[in-house]
Amino acid sequence: MERRKPKLLVIGHARHGKDTAADMMKNLMDLDFTSSSVFVGQEAIWPQWGQERYSTFKDMFEDRVNYRSTWANLILAYNTPDLSRTATEMLKDNDMYVGMRNKAELLVCKENQVFDYIIWVDASQRLPAEPKTSNQLVVEDADLLIDNNGPEVNMHIAIGNLQKRLHEEGFDVSYEPLEELTEDDPSFRIYRDDPGDMAEEVTVEGTYRDKAGNPLPYRDWTDAPEDATKVLDHGFFKVLEVMGSDQTICNSARMSYGRGTKKISNDAGLINYLVDHHHTSPLEMAEIRMHIRMPIFVMRQWVRHRTANLNEYSGRYSEMVPLFYVPKHDQICVQDKVNKQGSAEPMNAEAANIVEATIRVASEEAFQNYQYLLDIGVSRETARIILPLNTYTEVVWKLDVSNLLKFLWLRDDDHAQWEIRQYAKLVSQAVMEYFPLVFAAYANARETTNLSNEEIYALITGDTSNLSKSKAKRVIDFRQDNLG
């Protein structure tokens, strides 16, 4: 029997990845779809209402946010008396309906068996749900779920599994079974990214080839993205996106008192004032988004800065890659006797060699045991609990400029652990590059020393006996640095 294309409904909350999933299915399975908003706009809104008010469909479509109730009423009229009309008409020329939100419409479509499968795309562990006034549907309305709480590779895997399932059920989804390669196969050695780019080779286990025997492009998450800066032994740092500028911050600040003073020459002074007096709201109007790979123990310090948006690689959804941090000899130090959370001087070379070997052997053994647990069927979320804190993780991290400065105050500082300072230096460089006036104000503020009355008295008299150890050190350091 000739295969036919499946008829799919893709639902979920706003910004949870419905369109992304639909695009992946379109490319992988050769399925067609169009936005439901575009479809009903063309079929119902434009001919009945829009063309009398707008010169083009594009103008009407871009202005729809100002007429949501009008659009809803016209769509309801289009679907009366048959609530399945939008879905039925759309699927005449498309394979997917993306974005249904009305419960009554869904129930009628189910009754009429309009769809072969209803798929829910879920990102509820990292993004908020829509209110019920906007989306009446819930995950229980779907037949299948695509999890979008982890990295994008998980969606690729889920959609690949869906493609295989649909193929096995007799649908036309452009599925071609793949042959697994072995290490003995001469095609086992393949290239990253574009197969035509022979600049860098990589050997991988358990990869695949097509029916013609050609190796498929492979990209492991351990590969650093292009233009990333290497940190530590296997880490990296890369700025992905910058929103706003010094001027954005100034314009936001001037909203507080109108547009009376708007001279470019005042920008540096205004930003200095904001930083010095801790007026953070304008500084929160600009952001930097970064992609970072770091050891888990560094990540645990990093997430103490809680006013941020982040998404981390998940050992529940994906296998952890055997990639771990081993410090160099000059960073293998003895415990500080005063600072209970800090290090003192480096260990001697012989002792550092023993420590390095101990860390490496323990890490390798932990990953061997981790793989053993996976091989005997233990779940990923349980198997990962034996992995050490020096295992590398990845995170996409977005923070506004105000909280970036707070991060730098603590982490780009001699009191911070050496490993996180290597990343903080790159965060500092990013702020300096994209927000030079803010960085100059921050640097100036860092050079300012604020002493308490008792510290000032000790500085004048030279008597630090009544101070705590930390305050006494501040006074002594200040005297040495400034008074000689």
Kindly state whether residues 466 and 430 are assigned to the same domain. Answer: no
Quick: pLDDT tens for 364-390.
888 888 888 888 888 888 989 989 999
- Is 214 a member of any domain? yes
Q: Is the CB of residue 262 less than 8 Å from the CB of residue 291?
A: no
| Predicted local distance difference test score (pLDDT) of residue 196 | 34
Kindly state whether residues 281 and 422 are assigned to the same domain. Answer: yes
- At residue 333, the 3 state secondary structure works out as strand
Quick: pLDDT tens for 77-114.
888 889 999 999 999 999 999 988 889 999 999 999 99
Its sign, for the CA torsion 43, 49, 53, 59, is negative
The residues assigned a catalytic role are 411
Q: For residues 407 and 396, give the distance between their C-alpha atoms in angstroms, rounded to a whole number.
A: 16
Kindly state whether residues 238 and 321 are assigned to the same domain. Answer: yes
The answer, yes or no, to whether residue 69 has pLDDT greater than 60, is: yes
Which range, of 18-27, 74-83, 202-211, 343-352, averages the lowest pLDDT? 202-211
Rg for the chain (alpha carbons), in Å?
29
Q: For residues 49 and 473, give the distance between their C-alpha atoms in angstroms, rounded to a whole number.
A: 75
Its sign, for the CA torsion 178, 182, 185, 191, is positive
Kindly state whether residues 460 and 414 are assigned to the same domain. Answer: no
- Is 429 a member of any domain? yes
- Is 373 a member of any domain? no
Task: Categorize the per-residue pLDDT at 128 as very low, low, confident or very high, splitting at 50, 70 and 90.
Answer: confident
Beta strands in 105-143 (DSSP E): 117-122
- Is 476 a member of any domain? yes
Q: For residues 240 and 237, give the distance between their C-alpha atoms in angstroms, rounded to a whole number.
A: 10
Residues above pLDDT 70, as percent of the chain: 85
Q: For residues 358 and 375, give the distance between their C-alpha atoms in angstroms, rounded to a whole number.
A: 26
**CA 150 to centroid of chain Cα atoms:** 9
Kindly state whether residues 49 and 151 are assigned to the same domain. Answer: yes
Quick: pLDDT tens for 26-42.
988 999 987 777 888 88
- Find the CATH number of the domain harbouring 152: 3.40.50.300
- Is 461 a member of any domain? yes
Residues above pLDDT 90, as percent of the chain: 23
Q: Is the CB of residue 288 less than 8 Å from the CB of residue 431?
A: yes
Residue-averaged pLDDT of the chain: 80
Q: Is the CB of residue 108 less than 8 Å from the CB of residue 19?
A: no
Residue with the bigger pLDDT between 296 and 255: it is 296
Q: Which residue segment(s) compose the domain that 112 sits in?
A: 8-175
Q: Which residues of 129-156 are buried (b: 16+ CB within 10 A; e: fewer)?
A: bbeeeebbbeeebbeeebbbbbbeebbe
| Predicted local distance difference test score (pLDDT) of residue 181 | 40
| Predicted local distance difference test score (pLDDT) of residue 339 | 66
Domain count for the chain: 4
- Is 359 a member of any domain? no
| Predicted local distance difference test score (pLDDT) of residue 153 | 65
Region for residue 286 given its phi and psi (left: phi exceeds 0; alpha: psi -120 to 50; beta: otherwise): beta
Mean pLDDT of all residues in 18-33:
90
**Which range among 274-283, 381-390, 451-460 has the greatest average pLDDT?**
381-390
For the chain, report the end-to-end CA distance as a whole number of angstroms: 92
Q: For residues 335 and 326, give the distance between their C-alpha atoms in angstroms, rounded to a whole number.
A: 18
Mean pLDDT of all residues in 56-77:
83
Kindly state whether residues 441 and 309 are assigned to the same domain. Answer: yes
